[in-house]
Structure 1
Amino acid sequence: MNMTTWRRRRIESDSVRVPEPTERADVVITETSITSKYTRQSGVYVGDNLWVVSYLPGREFDLPGAITAISAAAVADSVLADSAAQLGLTAAELVGFIAMSGAFR
C-alpha cells in the first residue's frame, strides 16, 4: 500500500465497542488510545470510529487496522531490535537491508 492508492476506511459506528481497557497480546486498548509496552508508538482515537497511528502520519484506520499497526510496531521494536543488536545494527537498519535485498515482495 502506498500513499497514492491508500483509501480512508470506515466502519459502522455500532460495530466496534471498547467499553473498558482491554489487553490483547500486550496491546492495551482503551476508548481513546492503543499502546504496547514493547513500543513507543501509539494509536489515538480521533472520532467517527477512526484512529491515527503515530508512525503512519496522514492515515486513518478503523480499530482493527490501528491494532495491527501497533502490534507490528511492537514486533519491530522488540523481536527485530534483539536480532539487530546481535548483528550490530538497529532494527531500522536491519529492516532496511532486508527491504533493499528484495526480500519483501
Structure 2
Amino acid sequence: MIGILLALQVKNWNEERKVRVLEKEVLSNLLISLSSDAENQINYNIGRLKADLMSINYIKQLRNGDIIYNDSLDVHFGCLMISKGFSPELNAYGELENRGMEIIRNSELKNRYIENI
C-alpha cells in the first residue's frame, strides 16, 4: 500500500516538474519574441519617426518662408511618404494560446498578459 502511494506521489511530482519546464519554455519564447520585436521593429520605427520629425521641421521652415526651396528638400517630402508598420512575432503567443493560460503560475504576470491582449 505504501509503495503504491509513493509511486503515485513520484508520478505527480514528475508531472508537475514537466509542467514547470514547459512554463519556463513558453515564457522564455515570449521574452525572445518581445525582445526581437523591440529590437527589429520598434527601435527601427522610432528612428524613422525621428527622421520624419526632422523632415517636418524642414517643411515647416519652407512653409514659413524661413528657407528657400531647393532640390535637396525633396528627400524630406519623400521621407514622409514611407509608411511605418509593426508586425509582431506571433509564434510564442500562439504556443501559449495552445497550451492554455493555466500553465503560467504567476497570477500577476498572467493578469498583465490578459490585460494587454
The TM-score normalised by the length of structure 1 is 0.29
> Hey, which of these two has a bigger chunk of helix by percent?
2
State the structure with bigger RCO (CA 8 A, min sep 6), 1 or 2: 2
* Higher Rg: 2
> Hey, which of these two has a bigger chunk of strand by percent?
1
The TM-score normalised by the length of structure 2 is 0.27
